[in-house]
């Protein structure tokens, strides 16, 4: 392929709102780091990832004849506070899967125009397809995989949303970041902590000790998994570590020294929804299913559904301490709410944490669901029950 045409296309894609556009060759294949992760159970119940593992490791199973992958990064850092309760920073936008996809559609059309490609010569994904985005991004030189298992950019820190375009065209690959690792074993394409040095801030800061090793996340202990992907009961032993984080967790990103280079992005492919992350906890605890659907339509938070968000809100309320005892009436009401045993169970925990267990006598007497009764039994064993 003509390098000149490739650079013309790269510049065009940059005008769409992609902050980094780089290319990697699909050979040799990526280092297989997934098998051990799945075998050890660290993927929790993310079975869909295990089912698609062969495709993640071999892009030919996704797009036969593919030769190159274009990795794109969208900077989503902004100086605005994540809110209180705390939301993952990306949650303060409309769903990036939808907004970034618009840019990918335009990037694909530019491929067809500049390279005379056909529509079936490429396939794109925004964090939804069977693609190992971080590993390919590292090979393409967008950054390196840090000890926090995230892609870290030398120019944008930890704040890049990634998208990928697989193509049958043989584009000229860009150079990855290279540096000899001192006192560490290279891990194939990942080269964990390539530019981290001796820093372990991300590992040390994790509130639930979710890192089994540098670059290895145990999803079962990860706050992001528990507050977003887990659709059931959040383990009691992890709830205190969740603190005031109601949706996702940015701790291992925020503490990274590479963020000193981060600057506010153009956000041409993002649509801010700062109003959502400014919601007081008391208002969230009052949400009805209808209000939830209307408020969070078109946002990543919609994935939680009403029950998931209220479950998380109860955990946050239980971690608030005596200063938020005014939340007790709302929590007592939720502990009796007929709509969801999942919400009732976490509300029971929160009420006891705030010292209001005596107000649950009627709810406890009427309770029949096993998961809620298990919460009452656990509280009785903890000595907090009255």
Collapsing DSSP states into helix, strand and coil, what is residue 21? strand
State the residue for tokens 């491929």.
Answer: 111
Do 356 and 332 meet the contact criterion of CB atoms below 8 Å apart? Answer: yes
Catalytic residue among 127, 204, 283, 369: 127
Backbone torsions φ then ψ of 259, nearest 5 degrees: -70, -10
The CA-atom distances, in angstroms, between 101 and each of 140, 161, 165 are 20, 12, 11
Type and span of the H or E element at 230: none
The CA distance from 58 to 81, in Å, is: 40
The CA distance from 124 to 62, in Å, is: 11
Half-sphere exposure of 150 (CA within 13 A, CB side): 23
Strand 160-167 relative to strand 245-247, pairing? unpaired
Please calculate the CA angle 257-260-262 and round it to the nearest 5 degrees: 120
Active site residue 250: no
Q: Which residues are the active-site residues?
A: 127
């Amino acid at each position: 392929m003509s390098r000149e045409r490739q650079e013309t296309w790269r510049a065009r894609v940059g005008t769409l709102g992609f902050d980094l556009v780089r290319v990697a060759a699909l050979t040799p294949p990526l280092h297989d780091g997934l098998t051990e992760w799945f075998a050890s159970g660290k993927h929790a119940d993310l079975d869909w990832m295990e089912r698609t593992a062969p495709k993640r490791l071999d892009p030919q199973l996704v797009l036969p004849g593919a030769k190159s992958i274009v990795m794109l990064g969208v900077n989503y850092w902004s100086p605005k506070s994540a809110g209180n309760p705390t939301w993952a920073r990306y949650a303060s936008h409309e769903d990036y899967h939808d907004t970034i996809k618009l840019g990918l559609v335009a990037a694909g059309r530019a491929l067809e125009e500049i390279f005379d490609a056909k529509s079936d010569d490429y396939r794109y994904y925004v964090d939804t397809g069977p693609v190992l985005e971080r590993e390919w991004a590292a090979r393409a030189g967008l950054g390196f995989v840090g000890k926090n298992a995230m892609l870290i950019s030398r120019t944008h820190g930890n704040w890049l949303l990634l998208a990928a375009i697989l193509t049958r065209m043989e584009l000229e690959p860009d150079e990855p970041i290279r540096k000899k690792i001192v006192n560490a074993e290279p891990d194939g394409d990942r080269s964990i902590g390539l530019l981290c040095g001796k820093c372990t801030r991300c590992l040390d800061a994790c509130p639930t000790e979710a890192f089994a090793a540098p670059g290895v996340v145990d999803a079962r202990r990860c706050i992001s998994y528990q507050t977003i992907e887990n659709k059931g009961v959040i383990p009691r032993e992890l709830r205190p570590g969740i603190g005031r984080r109601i949706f996702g967790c940015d701790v291992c990103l925020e503490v990274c020294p590479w963020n000193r280079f981060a600057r506010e992005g153009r956000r041409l492919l993002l649509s801010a929804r700062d109003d959502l992350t400014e919601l007081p906890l008391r208002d969230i605890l009052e949400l009805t299913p209808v209000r939830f659907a209307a408020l969070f339509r078109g946002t990543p938070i919609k994935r939680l559904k009403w029950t998931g968000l209220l479950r998380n809100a109860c955990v946050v309320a239980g971690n608030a301490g005596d200063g938020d005892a005014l939340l007790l009436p709302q929590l007592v009401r939720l502990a009796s709410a007929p709509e969801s045993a999942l919400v009732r169970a976490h509300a029971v925990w929160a009420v006891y944490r705030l010292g209001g267990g005596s107000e649950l006598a009627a709810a406890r007497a009427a309770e029949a669901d096993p998961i809620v009764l298990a919460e009452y039994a656990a509280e009785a064993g903890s000595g907090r029950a009255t």
